[in-house]
Amino acid sequence: MNLYLHFILVNSEFNQGLADDLNEGEETEDNIKYLWEDELKVAEPIKEFKIKNNATYTLAGFFPDDKEFSFDILDTTIVDCITESGKNMQFAVSKKLLKKTDKKVDEKMDETHLYFYLRDTFPQENPMDGVYILKQDFPKALKIEG
């Protein structure tokens, strides 16, 4: 199965009533519903995936000097995937950033689409594709000064 993840930043200033009254329910240039969308297709076909709520995501990697780092990010929703080749992959969003989620399955195309609608009212960090962390929870040691 192919797995697609859609991260969509919802415009908190969008006015549905105005859209209904002036543009048949659709957004306009001055009344935008979504500020941006980031679509990600998991690189390999997925054998299975689980969605974990209120989980702890481990942000791990290497500093520029090749020193390893690992930080736990609390209160996240994690998509935990196992690919057909056996690789483990994770994608994560801080719970406070989530306005809503949605899942659409297309059995004919063997595709699943997961939608994560993000609030624009909280600053966020996006350290890598498919990971959105509340700015206040982002490790200070990883913030670049300047």
Is residue 93 exposed (0-12), middle (13-18) or buried (19+ Cβ within 10 Å)?
buried
Is residue 146 exposed (0-12), middle (13-18) or buried (19+ Cβ within 10 Å)?
exposed
pLDDT of residue 144: 67
Which structural domain, as residue segments, surrounds residue 111?
Answer: 2-138
What's the token pair of residue 57? 């995501």
Any domain includes 118: yes
Any domain includes 145: no
- Give every CB contact of residue 146 below 8 A, 6+ residues apart in sequence: none
Any domain includes 89: yes
What's the token pair of residue 14? 């969008």
What's the token pair of residue 23? 């543009």
pLDDT of residue 29: 87
Any domain includes 129: yes
Q: What is the pLDDT of residues 93-111, one digit of tens each?
A: 999 999 999 999 999 999 9
Q: Please say whether the beta carbons of 56 and 74 come within 8 A.
A: yes
Any domain includes 49: yes
Any domain includes 122: yes
User: Which DSSP letter does residue 144 get?
Assistant: P
Residues of the chain below pLDDT 50: 146
Q: Please say whether the beta carbons of 57 and 71 come within 8 A.
A: no
Please choose, from the candidates 144, 142, 128, 126, the residue with its C-alpha nearest in 3D space to the C-alpha of residue 68: 142
pTM score > 0.95 for this model? Answer: no
- Total number of domains constituting the chain: 1
**SS3 of 124, please?**
strand
What's the token pair of residue 103? 């899942």
pLDDT of residue 146: 41
